[in-house]
Structure 1
Amino acid sequence: MFTGIVDEMGSVRSLTLNPSMPLWDGSLGPGYELVVSASPTVLSTAYLGCSICVSGVCLTATSLSPSSFTAGLAPETLRRTHLSSLVAGSPVNLERAASIGGRNSGHGVQGHVDGVGEVLEKRVDGDSLYIKVGTTGEIMR
């Protein structure tokens, strides 16, 4: 669970195909890995297996270093998000998972992708940006 409040900006170090990545069933096979540079804000509470929200997408940390983390990207994640278009140097929003009884700022979002939408309208509204998104009835329910 995430608050939707970005903790910091990070940047993509790499998005590469790993020919022998550990897969969900314990076997090794091809899969994509995303390496993101991050500051101590996000990394200070990170641990292997924790969730880190990367530009709105919940990912699982599979490797940690003092200045970065790695996450595996499932084929469905690549199909349904913009993460497949990231290149080295791309900026990304980073957010730590909310802790029970901790920071939430009155917000609560999952960070898991359930579907896709299409931007139908985007306009300035005072000091805000109004964005209207259309999607399927299945997602709307």
Structure 2
Amino acid sequence: MFTGIVEELGEVTAVEQLAEASRFRLRGPVVTEGAKHGDSIAVNGVCLTVVETADGEFTADVMQETLDRSSLGALGAGSRVNLERPMALGGRLGGHLVQGHVDGTGEILSRTPSEHWELVKIALPAHLSRYVVEKGSITVDGVSLTVVEAAADYFTISLIPTTLALTTLGIKQPGDPVNLEVDVLAKYVERLLAAGVNPLHAEETQK
């Protein structure tokens, strides 16, 4: 489980093509400190399992399903990536609960700069629009953000200077893909309601 607060702007140093998968080598001295085989690290919002670490770099295998459902397949050597380690129990939840399970990809449609922030408009896949609400939370390339405007086929976010400087969202341009993860709580509520369960009285219903 992650919080959507990026710890480090890392870099892809190599991509090796495997059978229906790819092995990524990524540089991230901060997130690899103390990391070991089997640990999780979020890369642009995708939870990946560490294979090995050495000299501030780590490798991770990405299966075809993940390559198809996320923007990781478009990465190559030199690509910058957002990196985050899992949240620690007892730590502060600075963003919101993020699983690292990408629901789909969007495309940056426009960027409108202003004096103190930048408004970014992102295309929203039809199957995700019902989960995105004004002032709600959404994860974009692993960054926990607040939705400014939610339309049927797009949403907007405001990026502060810190986010622009310390994440890939500061360098992505119109036409670039981004990974999207909607708030998991909305999906659970939808599933309960579809089953005829009132989430507020689920315990009583089970009795």
RMSD of aligned alpha carbons: 2.2
Say which of 100, 109, 114 aligns to 2:103: 114
Q: How many angstroms does 1:128 deviate by?
A: 3.2
Tell me, yes or no, if structure 1 residue 17 matches structure 2 residue 6.
no
Cα distance in 1 for partners of 2:103, 2:20 equals 24
Task: Give 1:45's aligned residue.
Answer: 34
Q: How many angstroms does 1:107 deviate by?
A: 2.5
Report the TM-score when normalising by structure 2: 0.55
Question: CA 1:42–1:115 in 2, change beyond 3 Å: closer, same or farther?
Answer: same
Question: CA 1:5–1:120 in 2, change beyond 3 Å: closer, same or farther?
Answer: same
Cα distance in 1 for partners of 2:106, 2:80 equals 22
CA contact (8 A) 1:122 1:132 kept: no
Cα distance in 1 for partners of 2:124, 2:109 equals 6
| Larger RCO, structures 1/2 (Cα 8 Å, 6+ apart) | 1
Say which of 109, 124, 130 aligns to 2:120: 130
Cα distance in 2 for partners of 1:83, 1:97 equals 19
More strand by share: 1
Which whole-Å deviations, capped at 9, do the CAs of 1:84-138 have from their partners, x for residues lacking one? 1212121111111111111421432122112334555654466132324322236
Cα distance in 2 for partners of 1:133, 1:100 equals 34
Percent same amino acid among aligned pairs? 41
Cα distance in 2 for partners of 1:139, 1:74 equals 26
Cα distance in 1 for partners of 2:21, 2:127 equals 32
Report the TM-score when normalising by structure 1: 0.77
Tell me, yes or no, if structure 1 residue 56 matches structure 2 residue 45.
yes
Cα distance in 2 for partners of 1:106, 1:6 equals 10
CA contact (8 A) 1:14 1:87 kept: yes
Q: How many angstroms does 1:82 deviate by?
A: 1.7
Structure 1 unaligned segments of length 5 or more: list them. Answer: 19-28
Residue identity in the other structure for 1:82: S
Structure 2 unaligned segments of length 5 or more: list them. Answer: 132-207
Aligned pair count? 130
